[in-house]
C-alpha cells in the first residue's frame, strides 16, 4: 500500500527543487498533476478545449506563485488544486451553465456502432441527470475524489472542510446517485404506445 506521507515528501522535495530553479523538477510536477487536473476540469466544465485551457492556466498560476509557496500545514497538491478550483469557479461563473458529465461521453475509445452508440447516449444522459440532482458541493467532491484522485483529507484542505465532512458528502452523493440510477427510466415519449388487444378495450 502506498504511504501518503512518503508521497507528500516526494512531492515536497520536487517543489523545493523547482523553487531553486530546477526545470526537471518542474517538469516532474507537471507530469504528476497534469492528467489529474485535466480530468477534474473536464468533469466540471464538460469541454475538452476549456479543460485544456484551465489546466494550462492552473500551471501558469502555479509557476507564478511557486516562489511564495510555503507548506504551512497544507500539502502542495492541495494548494495546487485550490488554484485549479478557483479557475474552474471563475470559468463557471462566466459561463453560468455547464454539463459536468457531457465530457464522459467524449472519452477516446473504439467507435461504437449505431446500436451501441444509442445505448451509450441513453446511459450518459441518465448519469448526467443523476448528477444534476446532487448539490454543487457534492458534485465538487465527486470530481475531486474520482477524477482528480484526491484523498478525503486532501479534498478537505482544498474546500475548507474536515475530512469527516468530506467523507459524509461523498457517501451522501454516492447514495443519491445510486437511488437516482436505480429508478426506472421514463419511457420514451416518442415511442409508439401499446395497442390494446381486440376485445380488451375498456
Cα distances (Å, whole numbers) of residue 151 to 43, 107, 120, 147 = 17, 24, 30, 11
Where exactly are the structural domains of the chain? 4-102+113-182
Cα 150 to Cα 7: distance, rounded to the nearest angstrom: 12
Mean pLDDT of 141-165: 92
Mean pLDDT of 150-169: 94
The DSSP output letter for 134 is: S
Burial class (CB in 10 A: 0-12, 13-18, 19+), 78: buried
Instruction: With a cut of 60, say whether residue 168 has pLDDT above it.
Output: yes
Burial class (CB in 10 A: 0-12, 13-18, 19+), 147: buried
Taking the whole predicted model, whether its pTM rises above 0.75 is answered as no
Tell me, what's the pLDDT at 126?
72
Under 8 Å between Cβ of 5 and 66: no
Which CATH code for domain 4-102+113-182?
A: 1.10.1740.10
Burial class (CB in 10 A: 0-12, 13-18, 19+), 42: buried
**48: nearest Cα among 95, 111, 107, 90:** 107
Mean pLDDT of 158-166: 94
pLDDT tens for 86-117 read 999 999 888 754 444 444 444 444 444 555 54
The CB-side HSE value for 10 (13 A sphere, CA atoms) comes to 9
* DSSP letter string, 20-85: TT-HHHHHHHHHHHHHHHHHHHHHHH--HHHHHHHHHHHHHHHHHHGGG---TTS-HHHHHHHHHH
Mean pLDDT of 126-143: 85
Residue 162 has φ and ψ, to the nearest 5°, of -70, 155
Q: What percent of the chain has pLDDT over 90?
A: 49
Summary mean pLDDT of the chain: 80
Mean pLDDT of 24-39: 95
pLDDT tier at 72, thresholds 50, 70, 90: confident
Cα 67 to Cα 173: distance, rounded to the nearest angstrom: 37
Amino acid at each position: 500500500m502506498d504511504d501518503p506521507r512518503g508521497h507528500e515528501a516526494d512531492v515536497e522535495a520536487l517543489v523545493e527543487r523547482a523553487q531553486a530553479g530546477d526545470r526537471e523538477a518542474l517538469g516532474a510536477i507537471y507530469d504528476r498533476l497534469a492528467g489529474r487536473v485535466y480530468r477534474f476540469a473536464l468533469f466540471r466544465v464538460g469541454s475538452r478545449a476549456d479543460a485544456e485551457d484551465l489546466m494550462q492556466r492552473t500551471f501558469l498560476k502555479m509557476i507564478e506563485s511557486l516562489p511564495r509557496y510555503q507548506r504551512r500545514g497544507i500539502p502542495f497538491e492541495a494548494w495546487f488544486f485550490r488554484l485549479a478550483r478557483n479557475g474552474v469557479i471563475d470559468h463557471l461563473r462566466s459561463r453560468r451553465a455547464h454539463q459536468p458529465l457531457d465530457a464522459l461521453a467524449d472519452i477516446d475509445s473504439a467507435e461504437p456502432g449505431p446500436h451501441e452508440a444509442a445505448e451509450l447516449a441513453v446511459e450518459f444522459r441518465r448519469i448526467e441527470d443523476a448528477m444534476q440532482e446532487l448539490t454543487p458541493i457534492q458534485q465538487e467532491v465527486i470530481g475531486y475524489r474520482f477524477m482528480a484522485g484526491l484523498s478525503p483529507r486532501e479534498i478537505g484542505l482544498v474546500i475548507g472542510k474536515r475530512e469527516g465532512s468530506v467523507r459524509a458528502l461523498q457517501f451522501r452523493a454516492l447514495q443519491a446517485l445510486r437511488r437516482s440510477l436505480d429508478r426506472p427510466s421514463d419511457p420514451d415519449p416518442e415511442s409508439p404506445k401499446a395497442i390494446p388487444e381486440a376485445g380488451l378495450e375498456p
